[in-house]
Amino acid sequence: MELGASASFGIFVSDQFVGEINISNITRGAFQSGHVGYWIDENSAGNGYTPEALLLVIKFAFEDLLLHRVQVSIVPRNRSSRRVVEKLDLRCEGLAEKYLEINGVWEDHLRYAITVEEWQVRKSLVCADWLD
Spatial separation of the C-alpha atoms in residues 66 and 59, rounded to whole Å: 10
pTM for this one?
A: 0.91
Q: pLDDT tens, 48-92?
A: 999 999 999 999 999 999 999 999 999 999 999 999 999 999 999
Q: State the average pLDDT for the chain.
A: 93
Beta strands in 33-132 (DSSP E): 33-40, 69-74, 91-102, 105-115
CATH of 5-131, one of 2.60.120.10, 3.40.630.30, 3.40.50.620, 3.30.9.10: 3.40.630.30
pLDDT at residue number 3:
55
Confidence of residue 5 (pLDDT cuts 50, 70, 90): confident
- Work out the average pLDDT over 100-125: 96
